């Protein structure tokens, strides 16, 4: 770096010197940002590699094929509800003996659980080890007294969206009606105030802006399933499209 001129003696050089230093600082900052970006990419690649090497208790890879790890949920769009807990209503109905409806406060009075679960988006990203809080879908079935002929759950959401789930996945311990992720409420673009969580199926099955849980006998393909996406949606089988 050139020696700094005597700016007291040559004040006419001050503007040029300051401009030079600003440009050098900006360039250094850009390099640092680029280095930071490389570090973030390396960290994400390392997380993906580690997840592919890990196994779940059921023997499957922690990361399904074709997926990469992200640290946070990515907004995926959709026709949002109003996002307000004050207006939230959840209807539990269909093949049950005692259909009921709960508002947000009464949902929180039902038995609560916290579960660590991964989610996998059909577009190829996964978020691992989130801590989700809410009510198990099987608990709602127990309260409503599900009828023995029920075989599927339909998650109903704002503006007519639905997703169909077999009871096997819907009654898993970590299948929830959820309102917290890592201790924080959901942002509107992630389904506030309440969304579904079906971790062992692609993430579109975890309906956002939830309004209802319906138990049915016959399968009823939902919004995405009738538009070319796979009816079952197992990430480990890469059941992306029908």
What does the pLDDT look like over 89-104, one tens digit per residue?
999 999 999 999 999 9
**pLDDT tens digits, 137-155:** 999 999 999 999 999 999 9
Determine the pLDDT at residue 14: 54
Q: Mind listing the pLDDT tens digit for each residue in 22-59?
A: 334 433 333 333 334 444 455 678 899 999 999 999 99
Instruction: Please say whether the beta carbons of 45 and 71 come within 8 A.
Output: no
**pLDDT of 13 strictly over 80:** no
Would you list the domain boundaries of the chain? 11-50, 68-237
pTM listed for this prediction: 0.82
**Least confident among 38-52, 108-122, 195-209:** 38-52
pLDDT of 45: 86
Two structure tokens written together for 94: 């269909």
Q: Is 85 helix (H, G, I), strand (E, B) or coil?
A: helix
pLDDT at 26: 35
Average pLDDT, the chain: 88
Q: Which CATH number fits domain 68-237: 3.60.15.10, 3.90.420.10, 3.90.79.10, 3.30.300.30?
A: 3.90.420.10
Buried b (16+ CB within 10 A) or exposed e, 78-106: bebbebebeebebebbbbbeeeeebebee
């Amino acid at each position: 770096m050139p020696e700094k001129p005597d700016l007291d003696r040559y004040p006419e050089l001050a503007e040029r010197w300051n401009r030079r230093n600003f440009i050098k600082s900006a360039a250094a900052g850009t390099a640092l940002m680029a280095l930071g970006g490389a570090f973030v990419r390396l960290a994400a690649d390392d997380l993906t590699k580690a997840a592919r090497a890990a196994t779940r208790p059921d023997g499957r890879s922690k990361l399904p094929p074709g997926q990469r790890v992200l640290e946070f949920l990515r907004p995926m769009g959709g026709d949002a509800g109003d996002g307000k807990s004050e207006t939230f209503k959840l209807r539990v109905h269909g093949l049950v003996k005692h259909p009921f409806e709960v508002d947000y406060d009464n949902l929180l009075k039902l038995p609560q659980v916290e579960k660590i679960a991964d989610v996998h988006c059909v577009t190829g990203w996964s978020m691992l080890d989130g801590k989700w809080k809410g009510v198990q879908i099987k608990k709602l079935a127990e309260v409503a007294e599900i009828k023995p002929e029920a075989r599927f759950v339909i998650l109903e959401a704002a503006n007519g969206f639905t997703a169909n789930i077999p009871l096997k996945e819907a009654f898993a311990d970590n299948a929830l009606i959820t309102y917290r992720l890592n201790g924080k409420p959901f942002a509107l673009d992630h389904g506030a105030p309440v969304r579904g969580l079906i971790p062992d199926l692609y993430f579109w099955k975890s309906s956002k802006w939830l309004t209802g849980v319906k138990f049915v006998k016959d399968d009823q393909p939902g919004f995405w399933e009738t538009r070319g996406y796979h009816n079952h949606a197992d990430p480990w089988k890469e059941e992306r499209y029908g």
